[in-house]
Structure 1
């Protein structure tokens, strides 16, 4: 092995990174390849308790995985060798990102964390973007501006800027948003350097990782004897597909099961439309009938049928031909969602619906109409979200709904209007050209009526009017 050590700096100290990318780097170390390690930090102060717990444990923690049959495994993950403390100036992130040994800067943000309009342009009206254009550090763009300016000043070595999230075309969309931000900010020299010396591969990541509950630490202690203050749990399934386009070297990820490909598009579309959209469909439907967890919602026959029909009747025709076995993928996804041992919450999966509808669902609606077919099964998904948002507007949800682009007054105005569904369906940010379609509005009306009846008697199959 090369004696030169390289650092993978990751921004975003959530559970997903520690159950996914950190696991892959750990498996490389297990093979004897310790040429890469992780430095982990956060832009905001909402992970300080976790970072402190990790620092006290030298970056180590136990990962619990559980299969659909209930088989649990425990691994001590050792790939995070440096935990970066948070301060308002993100000084530790800047110092590490500017270090020559740092060859990859990766990050995990939600769809709303890119601050893009429905046309995938940077939304400069957002308060956080406005703040960062004036020197703040509220967004990924503002943070990277500070980090990369320090890197250029010190040596200017290339670096890969790697997205690890569910945004479609995530590398391209991030790159366009970041370059737009730099242009708007007047950072011409940094703009030119980013264009020349960085790459932003598209990626597809997958592992269901709920927020850890106290019983995870209890099981870890019972199984391993370790008192872990930062354990994480996830399902046994894991997948990572990356465009092989790194600017300054990379770990030998292909040796631990990562798929390095020329284009992630087929995997990305299958995952976003079959897994992510279905996940949200189940969370919204389950919430409407009083369910708390994804597994119990998935195992409701009517909800499972909604998800199955959405994929089978509409998504698969839109994605055919595909190099993937889409029917098999559908069945694996539903089995994973029905895993009774994961206890993923509807609250976690229901979040950020205003970004998920245009990104994950509207492309299938439009695709069906382009094929000359009415998207009856897909219409269930936005119709469920409409009823879910109606509950939110009535303060009737059983939990706090989190959505990075939610404008409360605007949503309440929709539901206070004479025809809320017509006002909602006319939103081009959600439905693109379908916002002008009388046929689509009529389909939504029928679907919402049927769902309102189903919510009253959820044990019945959904009967479309």
Structure 2
């Protein structure tokens, strides 16, 4: 690690999660007196311009409110973002900072769908955004990094770590494979060789539930701290970050602030993605279908909590055993976190990006159950819930806008207008890989969907009666 030179950690993706997670850890280092690294924050798209403007006015500082399941609130002024990179169509500030010699890490949070991977975890070259970037645009992380690193080579700025901080299994290597495939499609062999030799892409596991900021946070922050914050946010008190220690150009002393630096993140990421992320989506889809708005309400509904518990207990834990983690205890901690009534995390936020979550977080457990001769009845509930959720979307009957980075709305409407939408769904290789088209899997989905239709009717009637 460099002891003298001031170094920059540039982050792409000006969302709440980065500010509640990676920026918080870097802030803790600053509070310990280690001022060698600071963050420069930017965005690929113009949808964060208001936030970037607010942060610029506050010199990058903001208040993070955390709340425990017991309702204990804490307030901390996060100071690690020392440079806010303004957005323009050419991403000029992002390119300039990413190409600068002092930038040793470029990290990113662009959501699961932002990597444009198919069920084989390969880059989907047919996607319109990828096609545009192959022609020189910068709509995706690939086109953006291509532009940044091209300038970095020109300036002879040296190696840099490319750090994926999204909920994606094997996130570093899958991003890297996608990026190398992108460069190969461009036919840029010189750039391809440079990336192979002068960048590293460690796998990481990140965890902190961070809902979208709501209007009540700013007044509470001002009351408690006296700071009239234009960009406050709130997250749960729990936090975790596990990173493979493979930084090619130096790194902050993250182990000093509780980050777990390991040789392989595999046990942690598998547990987190399958137990936390997949259960989270299950709860959000189920809660939405019976008229609930928040994750804690949905988790506190016994039948929904049982769906998640059974999915983990019956199918996931056998798939992940043996593990260095206590998986039963991890399951119980996760469900307790979801019950936190103070977080006010919405079903809308967690329900997003299902088309990436099914193949990435849920299909592996389905496949492994079949491979060991077990019928994955508990896991089948999750894609069945998503089918019913998207059926509501098709009918225009969701209570909110569904957000999905890879949703082709016309194709999805066509699927649900077909004679047998469930057959179309069950035979989708992009969702289910080798299970697509298998009669026993399709029948399992049919039976599960029918059972869930009955459950939804009963739950809805109970809600009406209780009102």
> Structure 1 residue 228: deviation in Å?
0.1
Deviations 1:383-419 (A, max 9, x none): 0001001001111101100111111222122222222
Give yes or no for contact 2:119–2:432 (8 Å, CA) kept in 1: no
SS where residue 65 of structure 2 aligns?
Answer: strand
Aligned residue in 2 for 1:17:
18
Aligned residue in 2 for 1:123:
124
Aligned residue in 2 for 1:420:
421
Aligned residue in 1 for 2:67:
66
TM-score w.r.t. the length of structure 1 is 0.98
> Structure 1 residue 31: deviation in Å?
0.6
> Structure 1 residue 23: deviation in Å?
0.2
Taking a change above 3 Å as real, the CA distance of residues 236 and 97 of structure 1, as seen in their structure-2 partners, is same
Listed as ranges, the matches of 1:299-314 within 5 Å are: 299-314=300-315
Give yes or no for contact 2:218–2:230 (8 Å, CA) kept in 1: yes
Aligned residue in 2 for 1:140:
141
**Does residue 351 of structure 1 match 2:352?**
yes
Provide the rounded CA distance (Å) in 1 between the counterparts of 2:4 and 2:412.
56
Aligned residue in 2 for 1:181:
182
> Structure 1 residue 459: deviation in Å?
7.8
SS where residue 459 of structure 2 aligns?
Answer: coil
Aligned residue in 2 for 1:150:
151
Listed as ranges, the matches of 1:55-454 within 5 Å are: 55-454=56-455
Aligned residue in 2 for 1:43:
44
**Does residue 2 of structure 1 match 2:3?**
yes
Provide the rounded CA distance (Å) in 2 between the counterparts of 1:408 and 1:194.
35
Provide the rounded CA distance (Å) in 1 between the counterparts of 2:378 and 2:201.
35
Provide the rounded CA distance (Å) in 1 between the counterparts of 2:461 and 2:437.
33
> Structure 1 residue 3: deviation in Å?
3.0
Provide the rounded CA distance (Å) in 1 between the counterparts of 2:461 and 2:257.
45
Give yes or no for contact 2:291–2:460 (8 Å, CA) kept in 1: no
SS where residue 424 of structure 2 aligns?
Answer: helix
Provide the rounded CA distance (Å) in 1 between the counterparts of 2:219 and 2:377.
45
> Structure 1 residue 309: deviation in Å?
0.4
Give yes or no for contact 2:100–2:157 (8 Å, CA) kept in 1: no
Deviations 1:159-208 (A, max 9, x none): 00000010111100110111111111122211111000000000000000
Provide the rounded CA distance (Å) in 1 between the counterparts of 2:299 and 2:336.
9
> Structure 1 residue 283: deviation in Å?
0.3
Provide the rounded CA distance (Å) in 2 between the counterparts of 1:459 and 1:448.
16
Deviations 1:332-360 (A, max 9, x none): 00000010000000000000101100111
Provide the rounded CA distance (Å) in 2 between the counterparts of 1:434 and 1:155.
48
Deviations 1:299-333 (A, max 9, x none): 00000000000000110001000000000000000
TM-score w.r.t. the length of structure 2 is 0.97
Provide the rounded CA distance (Å) in 1 between the counterparts of 2:157 and 2:74.
43
SS where residue 211 of structure 2 aligns?
Answer: coil
Give yes or no for contact 1:302–1:460 (8 Å, CA) kept in 2: no
Give yes or no for contact 2:205–2:269 (8 Å, CA) kept in 1: yes
Deviations 1:436-462 (A, max 9, x none): 21111111111111100000112899x
Give yes or no for contact 2:158–2:198 (8 Å, CA) kept in 1: yes
Provide the rounded CA distance (Å) in 2 between the counterparts of 1:361 and 1:239.
22
Provide the rounded CA distance (Å) in 1 between the counterparts of 2:422 and 2:99.
50
Provide the rounded CA distance (Å) in 2 between the counterparts of 1:89 and 1:7.
21
Deviations 1:278-299 (A, max 9, x none): 0000000000000000000000
SS where residue 8 of structure 1 aligns?
Answer: strand
Provide the rounded CA distance (Å) in 1 between the counterparts of 2:111 and 2:386.
18
Provide the rounded CA distance (Å) in 1 between the counterparts of 2:336 and 2:145.
39
SS where residue 457 of structure 1 aligns?
Answer: helix
> Structure 1 residue 151: deviation in Å?
0.6
Q: Which runs of 4+ in 1 moved over 3 A?
A: none
Give yes or no for contact 1:302–1:459 (8 Å, CA) kept in 2: no
Provide the alpha-carbon RMSD of the alignment: 1.2
Select between 405-414 and 278-287 the one with higher mean Cα deviation: 405-414
SS where residue 63 of structure 2 aligns?
Answer: strand
Provide the rounded CA distance (Å) in 1 between the counterparts of 2:96 and 2:444.
54
Provide the rounded CA distance (Å) in 1 between the counterparts of 2:16 and 2:52.
12
Deviations 1:21-56 (A, max 9, x none): 000000001111010000000111110000000000
Provide the rounded CA distance (Å) in 1 between the counterparts of 2:253 and 2:309.
37
Provide the rounded CA distance (Å) in 2 between the counterparts of 1:210 and 1:451.
28
Provide the rounded CA distance (Å) in 1 between the counterparts of 2:461 and 2:312.
20
Give yes or no for contact 1:454–1:460 (8 Å, CA) kept in 2: no
> Structure 1 residue 433: deviation in Å?
1.2
Count of residues in Structure 1 that have an aligned counterpart in Structure 2: 461
Where structure 2 has 5 or more consecutive residues not aligned to the other structure, the ranges are 463-467
